[in-house]
Amino acid sequence: MRHLAIAMLALAIVVSPVATPANAGAGYFRAKPSGITCGAFRLHKRSATIRCDLPFLGSRAAFLHLRGRGAIQHVSSFLHPHRPLVLHQGETRRFGAFLCTSRSKTVSCRSGDGHGFTVGHGFQLVF
């Protein structure tokens, strides 16, 4: 039983939302007015990912890791955070190593190395 508890705690630490003082513990946000839901996750100490769900493209989401270009990939399910932070139009916030901006129809996220994505109902760009 003790080993199971330790394993569950380790799993919770390994796949946890990115928490920084800038976002006061919120790993998820919903961009207004586009309605795009995103989550920032820490996979290990030196690795993090941000994901923005794109249900209007079918089962797809935009992904960005600490290194490398953004990508749009197939996902098996969408994020359903209980109370995501609301990122209003024109607002920019830092989520760990990522900087995200909400615009009227799109969401843009960038990593420190200059890669990122801009996604919306009629526009998807990864760089």
For 72-88, write each residue's pLDDT tens digit: 999 999 999 999 999 99
Q: pLDDT value at position 47?
A: 87
Q: Give the pLDDT confidence of 27-38 residue by residue, as tens digits.
A: 999 999 999 999
On whether residue 69 sits in a domain, the answer given is yes
On whether residue 26 sits in a domain, the answer given is yes
- Give percent above pLDDT 90 in the chain: 72
- CA distances for 114 relative to 57, 78, 100, 110, angstroms: 25, 26, 12, 6
On whether residue 89 sits in a domain, the answer given is yes
Asked whether residue 98 carries a pLDDT value surpassing 70, the answer given is yes
Range of the domain at 24: 11-126
Residue with more model confidence, 79 or 8: 79
Of 118, 119, 111, 116, nearest to 127 by C-alpha is 116
On whether residue 103 sits in a domain, the answer given is yes
pTM equals 0.78
On whether residue 6 sits in a domain, the answer given is no
Number of domains in the chain: 1
Query: Which residue is associated with the tokens 């270009």?
Result: 69
Pairing of strands 47-54, 98-102: unpaired
**Is residue 48 a contact partner of residue 98, using CB atoms and an 8 Å limit?**
yes
Residues in the chain: 127
On whether residue 94 sits in a domain, the answer given is yes
On whether residue 1 sits in a domain, the answer given is no
**Amino acid letter at 88?**
H
Structure tokens at 10: 């380790």
